[in-house]
Amino acid sequence: MLGLKLPTDPRWVNIVEKNIEEILTDHAFCEQKATSTAISLIVSFPEYTELVQEMVALVKEEISHFKMVHDKILERGWVLGRDRRDDYVIELLKFFPKGGSRTTQLVHRLLYAALIEARSCERFRLLSEELQDKELATFYRNLMVSEANHYTMFLGFARQYGEKKEVDAKWQELLEYESKIMSNLGKKETVHG
C-alpha cells in the first residue's frame, strides 16, 4: 500500500531495542517536526482552505502524539534528549529543485510529507510486530494507523492540487530516490535513520 521501493531490514528493530531511550527521543522530535510542517503549510498556503482545515486538525493530532511519546519517556524515568540531525530528511529534501510556481512548491512539499509519513508508518509497523516490549509494540501499532492516514491525506492533496499524471510521475521518481537514501540507512536507532 505504501509503495516504498526498499523495505526496512527487520534487523533494524534489534538496533532500536538496544536503545529505546534514543528512538523515543528521536520519535518525539519527529512528531514535533510534523506539527511544524503542518503549521508551515498553513502559513505558506492560506488560500487552500481545505488544506488549511486539515492541517489545523493535523497540528492537534501531531502535538498530541508528541505528548504521548514524551509521556512514555517520562514513564521510563528519562528526560527528553536534544534534537538530532535527520540525515534522511536532509537527503530527501534535495530531490526537487527549488523554485517554480506556488502550486509546484506546494505539490513538492506535499509529496515530501507523504513520503516521510509512509516511511514512518512502515517503521512503526516493524516496531509493532517485532519489539519484545509489548507495551511499546502496541503503542507503535496504534500510531502506525495515524501515519498511514497522514500519508494518504498528503498524497491525495498533491494529486488534487497538481496535475494527477505529473504528480504520480514525480511520486514514483521520489520513491526511487528515497530507496537509494534508505540503502545507506537503517543502522541507527532513529525513526528514519
Q: Report the pLDDT value the prediction gives residue 104, as an integer from 0 to 100.
A: 97
Q: What domains, with CATH codes, occur in the chain?
A: 12-183 (1.20.1260.10)
Q: Report the pLDDT value the prediction gives residue 146, as an integer from 0 to 100.
A: 87
Range 40-44 average pLDDT: 98
Cβ neighbours for 120, distance < 8 A, ≥ 6 positions apart? 30, 147, 191, 192
SS3 labels along 147-158 = HHHHHHHHHHHH
Task: Answer yes or no: are the C-beta atoms of 182 and 6 closer than 8 Å.
Answer: yes
* Separation CA 22–CA 177 (nearest Å): 27
Question: pLDDT-derived band of residue 1, with 50, 70 and 90 as boundaries?
Answer: low
pLDDT in tens, 135-166: 999 999 999 988 889 999 999 999 999 999 99
* Separation CA 159–CA 157 (nearest Å): 5
Q: Report the pLDDT value the prediction gives residue 26, as an integer from 0 to 100.
A: 95
Q: Report the pLDDT value the prediction gives residue 30, as an integer from 0 to 100.
A: 96
- The number of residues making up the chain comes to 193
> CA distances (Å), 26 to each of 3, 130, 179, in order?
24, 19, 21
Q: Report the pLDDT value the prediction gives residue 43, as an integer from 0 to 100.
A: 98
